[in-house]
Amino acid sequence: MNRRAPGLLLIREAQFNAMLEDRWQTFATAAVGSVRRHLPEDFDRLGEPGVLALLAPALRKSRRYGLVRDCDVLGFLTLLAAMGPDFDEREENQWMRDILANHWMAAEGKVGLILDEWAFRLDEEAKSLTAEIAAIDKELNEEPDFEDDEQDIAEALEYDPVVEE
């Protein structure tokens, strides 16, 4: 005999699994839509199967970093889609890992802070590259100074090597 308290709902395993499957499908649809909307070039590169393949690592890793709300997990998925599933393990991204692993920081702000800092760093890198390109362009467009070259050519034309027989 099955005894349960009056008013309690009994959910069988099959029903529970059906609810989990429905929840998973809803989340997967949201994830694909989020990447398609926010990262169209990455979505074109990955396709829907690629985005879906990133979901399991995104869920596993985001949980490790304390990101449990759907919006935070979707933000983390965005980072994976843009930079690759191992972005947080690369040495050059140590600063990102430091933010993600900081348990004193509110989970809600971690992905946003990373995106802001990443945009700032990319902007600084772009400014640096623009300055380098401008310097190279200036150097290439300057009038060459051939005075020393003309003297060298004249001396070379006057040079009469001694040939030993």
Of 32-36, 76-80, 93-97, 159-163, least confident by mean pLDDT is 159-163
Biggest CA-to-CA distance, the chain: 121
Q: How confident is the model at residue 76 (pLDDT cuts 50, 70, 90)?
A: very high
Given a cut of 60, whether residue 1 has pLDDT beyond it is no
User: Looking at this protein, which amino acid is placed at residue 143?
Assistant: E
Predicted local distance difference test score (pLDDT) of residue 2: 60
- Per the model's pLDDT, the better-predicted residue between 63 and 158 turns out to be 63
Tens of pLDDT, residues 2-60 = 666 667 777 677 766 666 677 778 888 989 999 999 999 999 999 999 999 999 999 99
Across the range 147-153, mean pLDDT stands at 64
Rounded CA separation 62/73 (Å): 6
Q: Are 77 and 54 in contact (CB under 8 A)?
A: yes
Q: What angle do CA 154, 160, 161 make, to 5 degrees?
A: 125
Tens of pLDDT, residues 90-100 = 999 999 999 99
Given a cut of 60, whether residue 146 has pLDDT beyond it is no
3-state secondary structure at position 46: helix
- Per the model's pLDDT, the better-predicted residue between 54 and 126 turns out to be 54
Report residue 98 as tokens.
């430091």
Q: How confident is the model at residue 119 (pLDDT cuts 50, 70, 90)?
A: confident
Predicted local distance difference test score (pLDDT) of residue 139: 73
Predicted local distance difference test score (pLDDT) of residue 104: 92
Cβ atoms within 10 Å, residue 82: 15
